[in-house]
Amino acid sequence: MAYDMHRFASRAELADSLATTIAGRLADAIAARGAAFIAVSGGSTPALLFAALSRSAIDWKRVTVTLIDERLVPADSPRSNAKLVADRLLQGPAAAARFVPLYHGTDAGDEAAELARAELAPLPWPLDVAVLGMGGDGHTASFFPDAADLADLLAADAGLLALPVEAASAGELRLTLTLGKIVEAGLLALHIEGAEKLGVLERALAGEDLPIRAAFEASPRPVEIFWAQ
Ligand SMILES: O=C1O[C@H](COP(=O)(O)O)[C@@H](O)[C@H](O)[C@H]1O
């Protein structure tokens, strides 16, 4: 397991630094092949990051944005990660980006996964950037510790692209990108904030069997950890 730890004095500094790093990777991808592809997480953590990233002066019309994971809820639900992206990231210059959601109007897990796969398959894989978050329970993407089939989900064929996830602690049914597709990203960043999450991450890195550990184990390159108190 390899990683680089980037610590910041404030969450605003973290957001600016991570946004600059991501924008640089996207600009490099655009220069190299005319397009860039990023998957972002939802939840409560990324709002500041999204605001900073949305202001980046890159050629956003060449950028495709999708989600690391999603709750199977309508796009106007406050629980929707797509809503967070629409409200906070796809603003200003970044409004020109193409957004590919994971939720397509059904909350039936297998059907939702099939619809998402059809949208995801033609995208320009591998991801240039994947931004993971982590819950206080050690989940990342929608790999929840109490998902009955967690081992199968983590080991799923990367080519499946999207997997349905059911876990009591997750609330709604969810979709997640496969771990294999996430860790293929040219830049795999983990964005976490607060002492509690840092403690959870440290336990995972020390050997505790939490889902976040699987991302580090699967990643072929160092995971870039961005943390602020
Ligand atoms: O459920 C989710 O939680 C994680 C972490 O969210 P946070 O609110 O603690 O920041 C997030 O990475 C994931 O995308 C989201 O669906």
Q: How confident is the model at residue 28 (pLDDT cuts 50, 70, 90)?
A: very high
Q: Given the structure tokens 């996830």, which residue do they identify? A: 165
Q: Which ligand 1 atom lies nearest to the CA of residue 140? A: 12
* Stretch 77-96: mean pLDDT: 98
How far, in Å, is the centroid of ligand 1 from the Cα of 42? 5
Q: Is the pLDDT of residue 53 over 90?
A: yes
Per-residue pLDDT for 155 more than 90?
Answer: yes
The predicted pLDDT at position 154 comes to 98
Ligand 1 atom, smallest distance to 142 CA: 16
Share of the chain above pLDDT 90, in %: 99
Distance 43 CA to ligand 1 centre (A): 4
Average pLDDT of 155-170? 98
Structure tokens given for 36: 């860039």
- On the question of pLDDT at 79 being above 90, the answer is yes
pTM score, two decimals? Answer: 0.98
90-116 tens-digit pLDDT: 999 999 999 999 999 999 999 999 999
Task: Looking at the structure, give the CATH architecture of the domain made up of residues 3-215+217-221.
Answer: 3-Layer(aba) Sandwich (3.40)
Residue 47's SS3 state is helix
- Rounded average pLDDT over 4-18: 98
Q: Is 205 a residue whose pLDDT tops 90?
A: yes
Q: Is the CB of 44 under 6 A from ligand 1?
A: yes
The secondary structure of 71-114 as a DSSP string is ESS-TTSTT-HHHHIIIIISSGGGGGSEEE-S--S---HHHHHH
Instruction: Kindly provide the residue ranges of all beta strands, DSSP E only, lying in the chain, ordered along the sequence.
Output: 3-8, 36-40, 63-67, 69-71, 98-100, 129-132, 162-165, 174-177, 187-193, 223-228
Judge whether residue 125 has pLDDT over 90: yes
How far is Cα 41 from Cα 114, in angstroms, rounded to an integer? Answer: 20
Mutate to test the pocket of ligand 1, among 48, 68, 134, 200 (most ligand atoms within 8 A of CB): 134
Neighbours of 206 (CB within 10 A): 8
Sign of CA dihedral 187, 169, 154, 116: negative
Rounded to the nearest angstrom, the distance between the alpha carbon of 70 and the centre of ligand 1 is 9
pLDDT, average across residues 152-179 = 98
Q: Residue 61 CB: number of other CB atoms within 10 A?
A: 12
Which residue owns the Cα nearest ligand 1 atom 2?
A: 43
Q: How far apart are the first and last CA of the chain?
A: 24
Nearest-CA residue for ligand 1 atom 12 is 133
Please give the share of the chain, as a percent, with pLDDT higher than 70. 100
Closest ligand 1 atom to residue 132 Cα is 12
Cβ of 211 less than 6 Å from ligand 1: no
* Residue 211: CB atoms within 10 Å: 23
Task: Using the atom order of ligand 1, give the atom closest to the CA of residue 41.
Answer: 14
What lies within 8 Å, CB to CB, of 45 at 6+ separation is 133, 191, 192, 193
The whole-number pLDDT of residue 3 equals 98
pLDDT at 114 (0 to 100): 98
**Is the CB of 41 within 6 Å of ligand 1?**
yes
Task: Check residue 191 and give its pLDDT.
Answer: 98
- Mean pLDDT score across all residues of the chain: 98
Cα 119 to ligand 1 centroid, rounded to whole Å: 23
Model confidence at 1: pLDDT above 90: no
**Ligand 1 site, residue 68, Cβ cutoff 6 A:** yes
The domain ranges of the chain are: 3-215+217-221
- Where b means 16+ CB within 10 Å and e means fewer, 125-136 reads eebbbbbbbbbe
